[in-house]
C-alpha cells in the first residue's frame, strides 16, 4: 500500500476531497485540473494513482473518468486505460472554431448585463494575469491558466445563459492540453503575451461595442491555438 501511495500524482490544484457527494467532488477536482492544463496531451490517468492523490476509493474515480470520457475530455485506449486526447491539427481547428462561436455568443449576451463593478473586476484580473505572465515559466503555468479562466468566466457568467455556460465549460475541459502547451510556449518566449487581447476586450466591453468585443475574444482564443500549430509544425520539420 505504501508503494501505491508513493505513486500519487503531484498535480497543482488536485488534493484530497471530503466524503460528502464524493463522486461529484472527484469529478469536479479532475475537471478543474483538466481546465487549468494540469495534464498534458497523451497523459495516461491511472485510477489507483488518482485515488491515492484524492484519498478516495477507486469507485468514484472510475465513475468520474467514465463521465469525462462521455464528455470527450478524456478517451479510452485499446488497453482500456484512460488518457488525455492527443493534439492534432484537426482537433485544434475544431476546438478553436467552436470556442469562438460559443464564447463569442456569450460575450454578445454579456455586454448589456455588465456593471461597472464587473468591469473593474475584469481590469483587476487582467492586471494580475499580466503580472503572472511576467514571471511565467513551466512551474507557474497553472497560475496564468487559473487567472485566464477567472477573467473569461467573469464575462460568461454575466451572460446568464444556463444553456451555453455548461457547453463552454466542456470546451475548456477539452482545451486543457492546449492551455498547458500554450503556457509552456509563452514561458519560453517572454515577449509573447495574451494579455493585450484582454485589454482590447475590456475596452470594447466598456464602450458597449459588441462586435469589437467579439473580435477581441476571437483573437485571444486563436492566438494560443496558432502558437501550438506553429510549434507542432516546427517540431515535425525539425
Report, at the CATH architecture level, how domain 89-237 is classified: Up-down Bundle (1.20)
C-alpha to C-alpha distance for 18 and 180, rounded to whole angstroms: 28
Buried b (16+ CB within 10 A) or exposed e, 100-119: bebbbbbbebbbeebeeeee
Burial grade of 194 (CB within 10 A; 0-12, 13-18, 19 or more): buried
Q: What pLDDT digit, counting tens, does each position of 9-38 carry?
A: 666 666 665 555 888 999 999 999 999 888
pTM of the model: 0.84
Residues of the chain with CATH 1.10.10.10: 2-83
Is the predicted pLDDT of residue 232 greater than 80, yes or no?
Answer: yes
What local confidence, expressed as pLDDT, does residue 40 receive?
Answer: 87
User: Mean pLDDT across the stretch 46-70?
Assistant: 94
What local confidence, expressed as pLDDT, does residue 1 receive?
Answer: 44
C-alpha to C-alpha distance for 216 and 229, rounded to whole angstroms: 20
Q: On the CB side of 76, how many CA atoms lie within 13 Å of its CA?
A: 11
What local confidence, expressed as pLDDT, does residue 42 receive?
Answer: 92
Please provide the CATH number assigned to the domain covering 2-83.
Answer: 1.10.10.10
What single-letter DSSP state applies at residue 135? T
Is the predicted pLDDT of residue 51 greater than 90, yes or no?
Answer: yes
User: Mean pLDDT across the stretch 132-161?
Assistant: 83
Residues of the chain with CATH 1.20.120.530: 89-237
Residue 6 binned pLDDT confidence (cut-offs 50, 70, 90): very low
Amino acid at each position: 500500500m505504501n508503494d501505491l501511495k508513493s505513486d500519487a500524482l503531484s498535480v497543482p490544484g488536485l488534493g484530497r476531497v471530503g466524503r460528502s457527494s464524493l463522486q461529484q467532488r472527484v469529478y469536479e477536482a479532475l475537471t478543474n485540473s483538466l481546465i487549468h492544463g494540469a495534464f498534458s496531451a497523451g497523459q495516461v490517468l491511472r485510477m489507483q494513482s488518482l485515488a491515492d492523490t484524492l484519498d478516495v476509493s477507486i469507485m468514484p474515480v472510475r465513475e468520474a473518468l467514465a463521465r469525462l470520457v462521455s464528455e470527450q475530455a478524456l478517451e479510452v485506449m485499446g488497453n482500456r486505460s484512460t488518457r488525455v486526447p492527443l493534439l492534432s491539427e484537426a482537433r485544434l481547428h475544431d476546438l478553436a472554431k467552436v470556442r469562438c462561436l460559443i464564447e463569442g455568443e456569450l460575450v454578445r449576451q454579456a455586454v448589456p448585463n455588465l456593471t461597472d463593478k464587473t468591469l473593474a473586476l475584469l481590469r483587476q484580473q487582467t492586471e494580475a494575469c499580466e503580472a503572472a505572465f511576467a514571471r511565467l515559466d513551466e512551474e507557474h503555468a497553472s497560475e496564468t491558466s487559473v487567472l485566464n479562466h477567472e477573467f473569461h468566466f467573469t464575462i460568461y457568467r454575466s451572460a446568464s445563459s444556463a444553456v451555453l455556460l455548461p457547453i463552454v465549460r466542456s470546451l475548456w475541459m477539452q482545451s486543457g492540453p492546449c492551455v498547458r502547451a500554450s503556457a509552456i510556449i509563452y514561458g519560453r518566449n517572454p515577449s509573447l503575451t495574451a494579455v493585450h487581447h484582454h485589454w482590447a476586450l475590456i475596452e470594447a466591453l466598456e464602450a458597449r461595442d459588441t462586435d469589437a468585443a467579439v473580435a477581441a475574444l476571437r483573437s485571444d482564443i486563436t492566438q494560443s491555438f496558432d502558437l501550438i500549430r506553429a510549434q507542432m509544425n516546427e517540431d515535425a520539420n525539425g
